[in-house]
């Protein structure tokens, strides 16, 4: 109530009263929110100069993100990440108010140190950390919204053949350990480790890190030295040096920010630490703090290693900006053009006497490079017919590209697999799946448990390949090309091979034999000495395929493993479907490894007939291996207007 003029009173209007009540409620909620935010740990976003940090426990792994042993594919099942569990944290603090020195240590009973990185991406990285090398088989699907994948990277699988009948287990380790061996690193992180060796950069904060280590050690010794009256001078020296380094760290974060006399200060601090070490102390406190330093350093290195590997996986799954530009321009131009892009069905497409090549791809530039390299080296292009299977999203860009670009006398047909009507897929929408790539790390059965694991990269058919006999029911024989190959020789000799009744003519990789994978393949009746086969270039006898019902065999093998069309089930079904039906091609028809192996000799590359860029580092990516890129880029049309506008040739 308020007194008005003349002593009269009046009430506050209802609207104003409600505004006042709402304002008070908002202030109360804000006053509660601030400590709540602090308790949740958002304050960790700010870095500390004292090597002390707090962290909640890592979240359980989300299968939507790639791990150190990930399956990089589009069709794997995703699992929900579990919620973070609160951790018990003990703090031990010693204050010296007179000199404004504060020494803190944090013991984490559960979980690991955060190394000062407390932003939202840590949740992803902690989920990434949960997938560790202790797995026998771990698979992932890095399908994350907003990330356009250029192609599915290799699906990692780890196999240990301790016993022939061992079950395949999926396990998680709470805390990953960085292996010193580069071989172990490759098993854990794949080709990222190889890329890291080649692109290792010089540290820009080596001195800063050294000084922080000295500061932490000095802080560890200070409380114990300060308790000894006989060492007052040493106590003052320690205190003075600690304060000096803290002042420097308040202004510097890299070596370039450090003052010119920093070397002298570092030597002075080192001398004081040596004096402290010579003093007889109660070592319990010092040992605890130094052990914390070691743990913190290991956790920080582990964190950044996983962070780098995670970002590497993101980069290899994302379409380059220039390629996205090309796709968008072609799609827009398709709907703007007044030409009749829809060409009538060419008789060549149906003629079984011609050379029919099939490609499955979403990448218009990669597909164009494969076709261009094949046509350039062909003696007779009039007999060549290329069938490009793509999805609805990329169909229009593909159509316009191959309408505007001619490849001598070769015919190119672009098909949208989602529009096809197949009897075996009635009432089921077809989805394009690209060739499956696997990173297999295994320990040979005859080796000791401590021997290093071998890592090999395999490229095999996907679910879509097993539809080819029905899609091309009018053909007798086809050659299947992956979109990451480059042809350097006329392929007409392939068509004249006598396959002796075999279904699949493929290059074999005898570095991996089925017997080495029996812990995963099971005790089926197969030849353990058989080499695994590779996709890239495969000649397929469709007549024999239909007679033997290879597609039915593949589907039955999938059903035994839960019916999944990707992951370990796909690997097993691929390897066993063509058991005794493989015709080995000469290795010159498929030199693999150019997408992950820096060690392939250039002379070997020059002499190969077909180059296969299997692995993470595709030649169209910025991360591609530079010394092999030129073999792929030479088949790009540098004069093409679209390539110039999208800056692809630069």
Is 299 among the domain residues? Answer: yes
* φ and ψ of 458, to 5 deg: -115, 145
Residue 196: predicted pLDDT: 84
User: What confidence tens digit (pLDDT) does each residue in 202-251 have?
Assistant: 777 888 888 888 888 888 888 888 888 888 899 999 999 999 998 888 88
Q: Mean of the pLDDT values across residues 631-635?
A: 94
Residue 47: predicted pLDDT: 37
**Proportion of the chain above pLDDT 70, given as a percent:** 70
The residue count for the chain: 650
SS3 sequence, 402-437?
A: HHHCCCCCCEEEEEEHHHCCCHHHCCCCCCCCCCEE
Last residue of a domain, one of 317, 351, 372: 317
Q: Mean of the pLDDT values across residues 261-275?
A: 90
Q: pLDDT-based confidence at 100, cuts 50/70/90? A: very low
Contact 422, 470 (CB under 8 A): yes
Last residue of a domain, one of 289, 317, 345: 317
**Total number of domains constituting the chain:** 2
Please give the model's pTM, rounded to 2 decimal places: 0.69
Is 331 among the domain residues? Answer: yes
405 and 476 part of one domain: yes
Q: CATH number of the domain that 341 lies in?
A: 3.90.550.10
- Tokens 């009430």 sit on residue: 11
For the record, the structure tokens of 334 come out as 């398709």
Residue 16 in this model has a pLDDT that exceeds 80: no
Beta bridge partners of 486: 611
Angle (CA) 152 190 304, round 5°: 105
Last residue of a domain, one of 317, 348, 371: 317
Residue 570 CB partners (closer than 8 Å, separation 6+)? 436, 460, 462, 463, 558, 564
Structural domain range at position 267: 204-317
The better pLDDT of the pair 197, 400 is held by: 400
Residue 171 in this model has a pLDDT that exceeds 90: no
Residue 308 in this model has a pLDDT that exceeds 60: yes
Is 262 among the domain residues? Answer: yes
Is 470 among the domain residues? Answer: yes
User: What confidence tens digit (pLDDT) does each residue in 351-364 have?
Assistant: 999 999 999 999 99
Query: Coil, strand or helix: which one is 388?
Result: strand
């Amino acid at each position: 109530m308020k007194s008005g003029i003349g002593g009269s009173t009046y009430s506050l209007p209802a609207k104003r009263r409600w505004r006042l009540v709402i304002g008070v409620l908002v202030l109360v909620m804000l006053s509660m929110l601030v400590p709540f935010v602090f308790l949740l740990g958002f304050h960790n976003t700010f870095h500390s100069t004292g090597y002390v940090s707090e962290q909640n426990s890592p979240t359980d792994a989300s299968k939507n993100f790639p791990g150190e042993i990930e399956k990089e594919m589009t069709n794997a099942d995703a699992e929900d990440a579990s919620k973070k569990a609160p951790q018990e944290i003990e703090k031990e603090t010693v204050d010296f108010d007179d000199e404004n020195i504060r020494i803190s240590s944090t013991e984490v009973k559960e979980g690991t140190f955060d190394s000062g990185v407390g932003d939202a991406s840590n949740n992803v990285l902690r989920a990434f950390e949960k997938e560790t090398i202790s797995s026998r088989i771990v698979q992932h699907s890095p399908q994350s919204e907003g990330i356009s994948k250029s192609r599915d990277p290799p699906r990692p699988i780890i196999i240990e053949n301790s016993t022939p009948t061992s079950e395949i287990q999926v396990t998680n380790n709470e805390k990953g350990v960085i292996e010193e061996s580069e071989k172990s690193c490759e098993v854990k992180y794949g080709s990222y480790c190889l890329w890291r060796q080649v692109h290792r950069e010089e540290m820009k904060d080596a001195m800063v890190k050294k000084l922080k280590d000295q500061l932490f050690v000095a802080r560890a010794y200070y409380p114990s030295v300060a308790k000894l009256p006989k060492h007052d001078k040493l106590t003052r020296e320690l205190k003075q040096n600690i304060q000096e380094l803290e002042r420097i760290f308040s202004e510097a974060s890299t070596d370039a920010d450090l003052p010119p006399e920093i070397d002298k200060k570092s030597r002075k601090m080192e001398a004081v630490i040596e004096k402290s070490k010579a003093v007889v102390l109660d070592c319990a406190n010092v040992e605890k703090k130094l052990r914390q330093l070691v743990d913190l350093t290991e956790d920080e290195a582990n964190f950044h290693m996983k962070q780098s590997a995670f970002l590497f996986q993101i980069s290899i799954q994302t379409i380059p900006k220039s390629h996205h530009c090309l796709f968008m321009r072609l799609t827009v131009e398709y709907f703007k053009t007044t030409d009749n892009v829809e060409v009538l069905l060419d008789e060549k497409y149906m003629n079984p006497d011609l050379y029919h090549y099939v490609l499955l791809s979403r990448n218009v530039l990669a597909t164009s490079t494969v076709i261009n390299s094949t046509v350039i080296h062909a003696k007779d292009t009039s007999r060549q017919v290329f069938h490009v299977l793509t999805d609805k999203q990329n169909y229009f860009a593909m159509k316009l590209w191959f309408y505007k670009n001619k490849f001598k006398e070769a015919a190119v047909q672009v098909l949208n697999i989602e529009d096809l009507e197949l009897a075996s897929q009635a009432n089921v929408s077809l989805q394009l799946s690209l060739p499956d790539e696997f990173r297999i790390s295994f320990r040979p059965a005859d080796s000791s448990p401590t021997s290093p694991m071998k890592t090999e990269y395999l490229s095999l058919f996907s679910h879509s390949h097993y539809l080819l006999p029905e899609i091309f029911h009018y053909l007798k024989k086809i050659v299947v090309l992956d979109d990451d190959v480059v042809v350097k020789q006329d392929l007409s000799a392939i068509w004249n091979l006598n396959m002796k009744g075999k279904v699949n003519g493929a290059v074999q990789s005898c570095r991996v034999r089925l017997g080495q994978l029996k812990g995963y393949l099971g005790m089926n009746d197969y030849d353990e000495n058989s080499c695994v086969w590779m996709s890239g270039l495969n000649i397929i006898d469709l007549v024999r395929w239909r007679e033997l019902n290879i597609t039915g065999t593949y589907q039955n093998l999938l059903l035994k493993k839960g019916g999944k069309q990707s992951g370990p089930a796909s690997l097993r079904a691929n390897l066993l479907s063509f058991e005794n039906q493989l015709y080995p091609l000469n290795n010159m028809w498929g030199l693999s490894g150019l997408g992950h192996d820096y060690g392939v000799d250039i002379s070997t590359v020059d002499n190969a007939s077909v180059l296969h860029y299997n692995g993470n580092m595709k030649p169209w990516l910025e991360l591609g291996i530079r010394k092999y890129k030129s073999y792929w880029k030479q088949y790009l049309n540098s004069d093409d207007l679209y390539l110039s506008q999208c800056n692809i040739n630069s």
